[in-house]
Amino acid sequence: MFAPWRWELLLRDWKVFAWGLGRTLEASGLALLLALALGIVIGSLSLAPWRPLRWFNRAYVEVIQNTPLLVQTFFFYYGLPYVGIDLPVLAVGVLALGIYTAAFIAEVIRASIQSIPRGQYEAAYSQGFTYAQAMRHVILPQAFRVALPPLTNQLINLVKNSQILALIPGYDLMYRADSWASATLAYQVAYPVVALLYLSITLPLATLARRLERHLAKAYGRQEEEVERVARVSGALSA
């Protein structure tokens, strides 16, 4: 691993890793947008008044979460051309990652929605809001604060799962590193560098998630104290 010639090759070909890292970030960013859009919509269906929508929510989550990401990726990569849909490799990777991650985000959204007091729904309905309007204007803005730390953890998982693109091949960081190592036989250098590059992405995100969790815990603590103070004052005045 410490042979000088391996590191000389790495310094010479650093653009290979930089290009792969950029591709990984691109795929992860696009997949995150898709996963958030799908996850928020599907997660909101968990409490929909129409039963078939709730069934769709459970079916989507159970099927996607309980089948391997690799199988889903191969399904899109090899299966779609049979029905006349021929997508670029990046699009296939974004689609597979986005749909897979959306199932986990939907569960985060569902749990966050269920943490909102029932009175918030009743207040929204009393103002004439429909279910969709209540979700958009009242419930989801509150649920998002609860969901923010676990959503950050899902982003970390998405970035790590992006290495699945190396198998289709997606020309991501892992694919480029593996190809470079095969050509130069510098495996002992390639994979530790890949691990460090992934760590440079996920470690700041993990730190952000912990800080958000602490910040929200303090904010909720102050909110509960304020509610208790108002209740005590109201009780004293009524007495």
- The per-residue pLDDT for range 165-204, each reduced to its tens digit, is 877 776 678 888 888 888 787 778 888 888 888 888 888 8
The more confidently predicted of residues 166 and 154 is 154
How many domains would you assign to the chain? Answer: 1
Question: pLDDT band at 97, cuts 50/70/90?
Answer: very high
pLDDT at 3: 67
Burial 211-230 (b: 16+ CB within 10 A, else e): ebeeeeeeeeeeeeeeeeee
The more confidently predicted of residues 216 and 29 is 29
Peptide bond into 150 cis (omega under 30): no
SS3 assignment for 154-183: HHHHHHHHHHHHHHCCCCCHHHHHHHHHHH
pLDDT at 204: 86
Are the C-beta atoms of 60 and 42 separated by less than 8 Å? yes
Report the Cα 107 to chain-centroid distance in Å.
11
pLDDT at 82: 87
Question: pLDDT band at 106, cuts 50/70/90?
Answer: very high
Question: pLDDT band at 5, cuts 50/70/90?
Answer: low
CA distance 35 to 113: 18
Are the C-beta atoms of 103 and 60 separated by less than 8 Å? yes
Question: pLDDT band at 238, cuts 50/70/90?
Answer: very low
The more confidently predicted of residues 15 and 215 is 15
At residue 129, φ and ψ (nearest 5 deg) are -75, 145
Question: pLDDT band at 222, cuts 50/70/90?
Answer: low
- Residue 219: give the domain boundaries: 4-238
DSSP classification of residue 47? G
pLDDT at 219: 62
Please state the pTM of the whole predicted model.
0.77
∠ CA(72), CA(92), CA(90), 5° rounding?
140
CA distance 84 to 88: 13
CA distance 50 to 106: 18
The more confidently predicted of residues 215 and 196 is 196
Residue 7 pLDDT > 90, yes or no? no
Report the percentage of the chain scoring pLDDT > 70.
Answer: 87
pLDDT at 226: 46
∠ CA(222), CA(224), CA(228), 5° rounding?
115
* Mean pLDDT, rounded, of the chain: 81
Query: Mapping DSSP to helix (H, G, I), strand (E, B) and coil, where does residue 97 land?
Result: helix
How far does the chain reach from its first CA to its final CA, in angstroms? 78
Give me the mean pLDDT over the 211-232 stretch: 58
pLDDT at 224: 47
CATH code for the domain of 59: 1.10.3720.10
Lowest mean pLDDT among 70-74, 90-94, 143-147, 215-219: 215-219
pLDDT in tens, 54-73: 899 999 999 999 999 989 99
